[in-house]
Structures are given as C-alpha cells and as structure tokens.
Amino acid sequence: MHGKRILLIVGGGIAAFKSLELVRAIRRAGGSVTPVLTAGGAEFVTPLSLAALAEHQVHTELFDVTEEAAMGHIALSRAADLLVVCPATADLLAKMAAGLASDLATTLLLATDTPVLAVPAMNVRMWGHAATLANVATLRARGVTVMEPDEGEMACGEYGPGRLPEIERIMAGIRAALVVETRLAGRHVIVTAGPTHEAIDPVRYLANRSSGKQGFAIAGALAALGARVTLVAGPVELPTPPGCTRIDVVSALDMAAAVERALPADAAVMVAAVGDWRVEAAGSKLKKNGAPPTLALVENPDILATVAVPGPRRPRLVVGFAAETENAVANAVAKRTRKGADWIVANDVSGDVMGGDRNTVHLVGASGVEDWAEMPKAEVARRLALRIADELA
Ligand code: C5P
C-alpha cells in the first residue's frame, strides 16, 4: 500500500471505534489516511483521536470557510486513490444509493470518480431489510464495492450478519480495491466454486460437502492481481471476495448455463464440486407412503470438459480440480487428458480439507507434477493466481 492515499469516511455506529484500528493498519502497510468524520461518527470517536492516529487533519464540515479556501471538498476526494466508508451504516448506504449530498461525507461520495469501498456494520435486521438490500444492490451495480459484514454476536445482543468485518479482511478488501498488482489487468477469468444442489423434489436435494472456501480464495486472489473475475458460486454462505462479480447458482445445469453465458474468458478455473448426477423428473414432493422411492439418476454435463473442448471459445488456460480420497495424483494425470484441461490441481480430501482452511495440492500439467507443501487455502490461491498470471503473460 506504499504511497496510497485513503480517504476514510467514518459513519456513526458502534463499530466506529474500530476505524481507529483500521487507520493504524493502513499506515503500518505504508498507506496514508485522510479522515472524514460524519456527525454520527463524531458521537463515537473524537476528531482528536482520529487525527492523532492518522497524523492528519480530520474533515467534518461541508461549509467550513477555511477548509474550502485551503482545499475544496471536491479536491479532497480527487486527491485520494480510494474512498473507504467504515463503518458504512444503513443510513450512509441509503444516502449513497439515493445520491444525497447533505453533509461533507455524502457530498464527497457523490462528487468523486475515485473507487469506493463500503464496509457495512449495522444491526442484523437493518442489514437484512429489503431497503438496505436494494441499496446495496444499487451501489454494487454502480461499481461501489460493498463488503459483506461478518456474522456473529452484535453489540445489541442479537446474532447474525452485520458485524464490521475483521480488520485483516478490510485490509484485503482495500488491497484488492486499490489493485496494487496489475499482472492480470484486462484478463477475464471464470471461477466455479462450491457444491451444487440437485433437487430430489421441491424440498429435498442431493449435495456434497464442498465449502467453496478454496474456490472463493482463488477468485479473490485473481481479482487481487487485477483480473476481471466472474465467480459462479453454488449454494454457500461465503462473502463475495472483493473485486469479483458473483453469479449464484443452485444446480449443475444452472452452473453450466452461467459459465456458458460468462464466456469468453482468458482462463477458466473450475473448482466447484459439481454434482455428477441429478434426479430424473424431480416433480412434486415425494410422499412417505409404503415402499421407499427409487431415485433414477441422470448424468450432469461435465462443465470442465465442455469448456475445454478445442475451438474459438476455449479459454487459453483451462484448470480443473480433482478431489480424491485415494491416488490423487494418478487420477489427476488421467483426468487432465480425459477432460482436455491444461492443468489439474489434485487434492486429497480424505482428511478435513473440505470445510477446513488448509490444503495440500499437486499441480498436474503437461510437463509433469509439482507437489506443493501443505499451506493455507489462501496461500494455495495466491500461488495458483500467480502461476495463472505467468501463463497468460
Ligand atoms: O470428474 P471429477 O468430478 O472428479 O472432476 C473434477 C473437476 O471437474 C473439477 O474441476 C470440477 O469443477 C469439474 N467438473 C465439472 N462438471 C462436472 C463435474 C466436474 O466442471 N459435471
């Protein structure tokens, strides 16, 4: 973050005090912070503490004669590489979506063409309210990056999504929004992640234990290198990594259609644990009367193999995953040829890999097999993203 200038807008919420910690983290990473405190924010943190940690004057008023004379409010946002709204309250998000300019913070947000990262924190019901959801959707459609809040116990005693994300996650969001690295700028990468749900009837489904963690981490790592990432996600509760366009799907057929629509791409990384079969004729709810029903299964299309078919639409690099409980490498070598993929990332899922945070993988390519040491899924993602960048260079 060296030399990067962050304009930090602090909204009025109980999480505002954490903005102080964020100022320190940004500065430790080499960035500078210009703080803007809303009237609500000033109820929770003092301008003095913000100014002391930022080692920078705090801006609060829109019509402050000295401030306007020294630096107009429009120039204030122009002088930044990124605007970070933290905490972004329901009120601030609503004002941003409506385009209000009723104080310094909202005026800056309206007057800027600098990228904006909003870090929400609010009561769980406020976050889940249709009005907030619509405002967030509007802002995202306009290109504002709105992070997903963390889930957990709230200051008000309720439980659910709405907590300010951990500082480390906010920092990752800032890094991605700043696109500090541009090795994959201008490249489009499709990533599939998570399980699929195959309907048995309207209320039951077949699924698998894929958590989506590795695929989401890969999507985030690619975006952090500047790629345009389309993340086609099966049913998982994970937050969207900063910088990714997410398409939520349920079944393998949905996923295949979403991938098809997302093409063309420079690379496709198929991490999803796609259900191999779907239930034929999943009609009305099965009744428990007499003998147990027999489920007739039909094979799902192989999305990876379809994308890898040679032709003008084939991405330059097609990467598949192979989750195996035995002979991971041998199976991956065979799978690479069978499916027409360029690389297969083999992992042994016999332990607690699925749902866990660490992974041991083997990268199987045309020239052989590389055994990677056990490492966090985030590190696997970063290394793989760098390899993809080398390949597409
Ligand atoms: O054959 P297997 O399911 O082990 O292959 C795994 C790889 O193939 C993964 O990359 C997975 O995303 C992909 N796959 C797919 N469509 C399927 C089944 C698997 O894209 N129907």
| Statement: residue 71 has pLDDT above 80 | no
- Residue 217: pLDDT over 70: yes
Band (349; pLDDT cuts 50, 70, 90): confident
- Label residues 49-86 b or e (16+ Cβ within 10 Å = b): ebeebbebebbbebeeeebeeeeebeebbeebbbbbbb
Mean pLDDT value across residues 363-367: 95
Atom of ligand 1 nearest to the CA of 276: 21
For residue 63, name the pLDDT band (cuts at 50, 70, 90).
low
The two structure tokens encoding residue 132: 């907030």
Residue 332 has a pLDDT of 95
d(CA 179, CA 1): 10
By most ligand atoms within 8 Å of CB, the mutation choice from 271, 299, 321 for ligand 1 is 321
Q: Is the pLDDT of residue 181 over 80?
A: no
Average pLDDT, the chain: 92
Residue of 261 and 327 predicted with greater confidence: 261
What is the pTM assigned to this prediction? 0.66
What band does 44 get if pLDDT is binned at 50, 70 and 90? very high
Strand partners, 153: 159
The atom of ligand 1 lying closest to the CA of 252 is 21
Query: How many angstroms is it from 376 CA to the middle of ligand 1?
Result: 22
Pairwise CA distance, residues 90 & 131, whole Å: 9
Catalytic residues: 156
Distance of CA 320 from the midpoint of ligand 1 (Å): 7
Strands 228-233 and 358-359 turn out to be unpaired
In the prediction, which pLDDT does 13 show? 92
Q: What is the pLDDT of residue 68?
A: 63
Place 376 in a pLDDT band, splitting at 50, 70 and 90.
Answer: confident
The two tokens of residue 208 are: 């698998």
Q: Whose CA is nearest to atom 13 of ligand 1?
A: 304
- Provide the residue ranges of all domains of the chain, joining segments of one domain with +: 5-178, 188-392
Residue given tokens 């008023």 in the structure block: 61
Look up tokens 């960035």; give the residue.
31
Output the CA 277–ligand 1 centroid distance in Å: 12
Question: Half-sphere exposure (CA, 13 Å, Cβ side) for 248?
Answer: 6
Question: Measured between alpha carbons, how far is residue 372 from residues 219, 221, 384 in Å?
Answer: 19, 17, 11
Q: Could you give the 3-state DSSP secondary structure of residue 26? A: helix
* Range 354-364 burial, b when 16+ CB lie within 10 A, else e: beeeebbbbbb
Burial class of 306 by CB neighbour count within 10 A (0 to 12, 13 to 18, 19+): middle
- Please name every residue paired with 230 in a beta bridge, in sequence order, or none if there are none: 190, 245
For residue 271, which atom of ligand 1 is closest to its CA? 12
Name the residue of 303, 306, 333 whose CB sits within 8 Å of the most ligand 1 atoms, as the mutation to test its pocket. 303
Contact call for residues 36 and 7 (beta carbons, < 8 A): yes
Report how far ligand 1's centroid is from the alpha carbon of 234 (Å): 13
pLDDT score at 75: 79
Tell me what pLDDT residue 66 has. Answer: 62
Q: By alpha-carbon position, which residue is closest to atom 4 of ligand 1?
A: 322
**The CATH classification of domain 188-392, taken from the options 3.30.590.20, 3.40.50.10300, 3.30.470.20, 3.40.50.970:** 3.40.50.10300
Q: CATH topology for 5-178? A: Rossmann fold (3.40.50)
Decide: 346 and 371 in contact? Cβ < 8 Å.
Answer: no
- CA distances to 194, 315, 339, 368 from 329, rounded to whole Å, are 22, 24, 15, 10
Quick one: pLDDT at residue 154? 81
- How many angstroms does the Cα of residue 271 sit away from the middle of ligand 1? 8
Query: How many C-beta atoms surround the C-beta of residue 99 within 10 A?
Result: 11
- Region 300-321: mean pLDDT is 97
Q: Give residue 243's pLDDT band: very low, low, confident or very high (50, 70, 90).
A: confident
Q: What residues form DSSP beta bridges with 159?
A: 153
| Cβ atoms of residues 276 and 299 within 8 Å | yes
Minimum-distance ligand 1 atom for the alpha carbon of 301: 21
The rounded percent of the chain whose pLDDT value lies above 90 is 73
List pocket residues of ligand 1, CB cut-off 6 Å.
Answer: 192, 252, 270, 272, 274, 300, 302-304, 320-322, 335
Regarding predicted confidence, which is higher, 60 or 16?
A: 16
Residue 323 predicted with pLDDT over 70: yes
Q: Does position 179 have pLDDT exceeding 90, yes or no?
A: no
CA 386 from chain centre, in angstroms, equals 18
Q: For residue 106, what pLDDT is reported?
A: 95
Q: What mean pLDDT is predicted for residues 12-20?
A: 95
Q: How many residues does the chain have?
A: 393
Q: Which of 263, 269, 274 to mutate to test the pocket of ligand 1 (most atoms within 8 A of CB)?
A: 274
Query: pLDDT tens digits, residue range 257-291?
Result: 999 999 999 999 999 999 999 999 767 888 888 78
* CA 282 / ligand 1 centre spacing (Å): 23
Nearest ligand 1 atom to the CA of 307 is 20
CB atoms within 10 A of CB 246: 18
